């Protein structure tokens, strides 16, 4: 499965990032170190979302940032950022399903807060990824109006990329990484680590102003919903990606 990563040959370092694990901050820092500028501040709807202006993505690709299948690097230092699976799910849901209105493309979702229907579709999509025989899957799905039989492969891939377990993106070999940072360590331990590597002082960045974010958010999840989400990310808990 695809993952974002940047190989810095000059400093013998590879940085991996999964969705909703601080990737925007990482890319802004990489651009700052390599191009000497932040290239920030753009407004998305009513919130202040710092992601880099026009041409930022092409600039990152030119620097060597890749979005591809995971592969081990031959650099001596490899790092990544992780996040509690439930927290990551909630953040992704608020951002992609509610804020970006992608709930409208999910079969049978009655509102952006219809998380049970979303989880049903996500679980069906997960089964499809694990098995080749779609007919056997369809027999087990009570609601045939499901995301997995829609023709919008772009939407399926987009949602799966953002919501898939981190084990699908980083793999299962935790000892491959020199350091595994948490979201809470981005502007502390990770910042210091990268400053020592790059021999530069990095700016403090928060790529989204939470005070202005989302007019609508998921309410507190029920016990059964939490159990379903935890079960969906069981591989991450089992592989140790649940820091």
Residue ranges covered by each domain of the chain = 2-239
Tens-digit pLDDT profile for residues 62-115: 999 998 889 899 999 999 999 999 999 999 999 999 999 999 888 889 999 999
Looking at the predicted structure, is the pLDDT value of residue 44 above 50?
Answer: no
Nearest of 149, 121, 137, 7 to residue 70 by alpha carbon: 7
Tens-digit pLDDT profile for residues 116-168: 999 998 988 887 776 555 555 455 555 545 554 455 565 678 888 899 999 99
Residues 6+ apart with CB under 8 A from 182: 81, 82, 83, 243
Distance of CA 241 to the CA centre of its chain: 13
Task: Report how far residue 82's alpha carbon sits from residue 16's, in angstroms, rounded to the nearest whole number.
Answer: 10
- DSSP for 153-182? HHHHHHHHHHHS-THHHH-S-GGG-SEEEE
List of E strands, 36-76: 42-44, 47-49, 65-69
Residues 6+ apart with CB under 8 A from 192: none
Q: Are 94 and 221 in contact (CB under 8 A)?
A: no
Query: Cα–Cα distances in Å, from 87 out to 11, 153, 208, 219, 233?
Result: 32, 26, 16, 13, 11
Residues, the chain: 243
Of 6-15, 97-106, 172-181, the poorest mean pLDDT is in 97-106
Instruction: Provide the terminal-to-terminal Cα distance of the chain, rounded to the nearest Å.
Output: 21
Looking at the predicted structure, is the pLDDT value of residue 239 above 70?
Answer: yes
Cβ neighbour number for residue 41 with a 10 Å cutoff? 11
The pTM for the full model equals 0.83
Query: What pLDDT does 59 receive?
Result: 83
Question: How much is the mean pLDDT over the chain?
Answer: 83
- Edge-to-edge strand ranges of the sheet holding 77-82: 65-69, 2-8, 13-17, 77-82, 179-182
């Amino acid at each position: 499965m695809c993952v974002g990563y940047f190989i810095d040959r000059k400093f013998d370092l590879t940085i991996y990032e999964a969705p909703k694990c601080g990737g925007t901050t990482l890319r802004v820092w990489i651009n700052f170190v390599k191009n000497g500028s932040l290239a920030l501040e753009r407004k998305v709807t009513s919130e202040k979302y710092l992601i880099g202006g026009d041409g930022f993505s092409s600039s990152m690709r030119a620097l060597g940032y890749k979005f591809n299948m995971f592969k081990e690097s031959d650099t001596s230092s490899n790092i990544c950022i992780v996040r509690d699976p439930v927290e990551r799910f909630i953040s992704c849901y608020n951002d992609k399903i509610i804020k970006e209105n992608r709930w409208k493309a999910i079969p049978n979702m009655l509102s952006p807060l219809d998380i049970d229907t979303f989880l049903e579709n996500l679980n069906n999509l997960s089964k499809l990824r694990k098995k080749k025989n779609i007919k056997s899957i369809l027999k087990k799905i009570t609601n045939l109006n499901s995301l997995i039989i829609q023709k919008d492969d772009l939407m399926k891939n987009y949602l799966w990329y953002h919501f898939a377990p981190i084990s699908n993106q980083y793999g299962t070999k935790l000892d491959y990484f020199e350091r595994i940072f948490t979201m809470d360590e981005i502007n502390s331990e990770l910042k210091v680590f990268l400053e020592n590597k790059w021999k530069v002082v990095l700016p403090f960045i928060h790529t989204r102003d939470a005070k202005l974010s989302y007019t609508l958010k998921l309410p507190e999840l029920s016990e059964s919903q939490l159990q379903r989400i935890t079960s969906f990310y069981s591989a991450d808990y089992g592989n140790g990606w649940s820091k």
